[in-house]
């Protein structure tokens, strides 16, 4: 006898919530009902799926394996049901991501869809905050600069951004350097006080730690680009932002490594997002357009 869909949905909710009480709240069921359903499922399968702890439950190996096998089909079915119940006019997609990438790469790629009736509401922010909003359903689609690892979130590799160390020509010695020593007198411009992009560049390209603090901090990479083009100093920027300025001679490479640093951006949706959901249509369009232009390796 095969387990019913209701039993599997209950199991998956408890597995994701980490406790019977929280799983019951997610499902709108009483705790005794959820406990009884889990016992029925364990009896049918002939093995325990959870270890009962003082606070919550911990899945057994069999529980983790079952969750891995049923999560995608159940989420897909749930998404299809939501699509069927949604009003046909529900075409607004709430999209979150880093401001520079959204404005430079994503919004232009969606321009043609607006004439088809799609409505977009864009939100700028950092990955953790945006993914929190995706989980609580205030966002439908998130572009994340880190790989999302959350229950109920599906992440698709989207765009590989590569980085270049650039400055205005007046800061160049004429030949790209393989050492940070010639760069000591050049002011550094970063988008955050910790200068994470520059620190990563120093570590991966120069094999050393960055021991300086940024001379100018601008919380938007487009502002960093503007300051660098004006001759304020050097920075590490994604090539989608600075390629045109490099081609025009407004910027030069201060270093030219064989393998520049790379970071993968991800498109994240809720696992229950069905194929007819507007967020899925936006995701697929971005994968066909913007994603295709990224230097996927």
* Cα of 120 vs its chain's centroid, Å: 18
Can you give the pLDDT at residue 14?
92
Q: pTM of the full predicted structure?
A: 0.69
Can you give the pLDDT at residue 252?
96
Q: Which domains, and CATH codes, for the chain? A: 5-85 (1.10.10.10), 92-155+265-293 (3.40.190.10), 161-262 (3.40.190.10)
Can you give the pLDDT at residue 210?
95
Can you give the pLDDT at residue 90?
47
Can you give the pLDDT at residue 153?
87
User: How would you write the chain as a 3-class SS string?
Assistant: CCCCHHHHHHHHHHHHHCCHHHHHHHHCCCHHHHHHHHHHHHHHHCCCCEEECCCCEEECHHHHHHHHHHHHHHHHHHHHHHHHHCCCCCCEEEEEECHHHHHHHHHHHHHHHHCCCCEEEEEECCHHHHHHHHHCCCCCEEEECCCCCCCCEEEEEEEEEEEEEEECHHHCCCCCCCCCHHHCCCCEEECCCCCHHHHHHHHHHCCCCCCCCCCEECCCHHHHHHHHHCCCCEEEEEHHHHHHHHHCCCCEECCCCCCCCEEEEEEEEECCCCCCCHHHHHHHHHHHCHHHHCCCC
Can you give the pLDDT at residue 88?
46
pLDDT values of the chain reduced to their tens digit, one per residue, 297 residues:
678 888 988 998 899 889 999 888 878 888 999 999 999 999 999 999 999 898 889 999 999 999 888 887 877 776 555 554 444 444 789 999 999 999 999 999 888 777 677 889 999 999 999 999 998 889 999 999 999 988 778 899 999 999 999 999 999 978 899 999 999 999 999 999 999 999 999 999 999 999 999 999 999 999 999 999 999 999 999 999 999 999 999 999 999 999 899 999 999 998 877 777 888 888 988 998 886 444 433
């Amino acid at each position: 006898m095969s387990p019913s869909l209701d039993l599997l949905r209950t199991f998956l909710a408890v597995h994701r919530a980490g406790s019977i009480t929280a799983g019951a709240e997610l499902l709108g069921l009483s705790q005794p009902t959820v406990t009884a359903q889990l016992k029925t499922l364990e009896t049918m399968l002939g093995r325990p799926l959870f270890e009962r702890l003082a606070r919550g439950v911990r899945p057994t190996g069999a529980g983790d394996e079952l969750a891995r096998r049923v999560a995608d089909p159940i989420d897909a079915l749930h998404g299809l049901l939501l699509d069927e119940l949604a009003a046909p006019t529900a075409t607004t997609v709430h999209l979150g991501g880093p401001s520079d990438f959204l404005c430079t790469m994503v919004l232009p790629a969606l321009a043609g869809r607006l004439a088809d009736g799609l409505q977009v509401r864009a939100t700028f922010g950092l990955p953790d905050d945006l993914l929190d909003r995706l989980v609580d359903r205030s966002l439908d689609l998130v572009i994340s600069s880190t790989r999302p690892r959350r229950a109920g979130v599906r992440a698709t590799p989207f765009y590989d951004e590569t980085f270049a160390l650039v400055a205005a020509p007046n800061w160049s010695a004429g030949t790209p350097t393989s050492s940070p020593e010639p760069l000591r007198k050049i002011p550094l411009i970063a988008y955050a006080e910790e200068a994470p992009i520059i620190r990563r560049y120093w570590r991966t390209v120069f094999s050393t730690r960055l021991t300086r603090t940024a001379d100018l901090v601008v919380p938007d990479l487009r502002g960093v680009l503007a300051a660098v083009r004006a001759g304020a100093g050097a920075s590490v920027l994604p090539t989608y932002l600075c390629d045109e300025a490099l081609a025009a001679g407004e910027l030069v490479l201060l270093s030219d490594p064989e393998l520049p640093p790379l970071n993968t951006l991800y498109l994240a949706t809720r696992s229950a997002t069905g194929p007819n959901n507007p967020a899925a249509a936006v995701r697929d369009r971005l994968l066909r357009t913007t994603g295709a232009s990224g230097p996927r390796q």
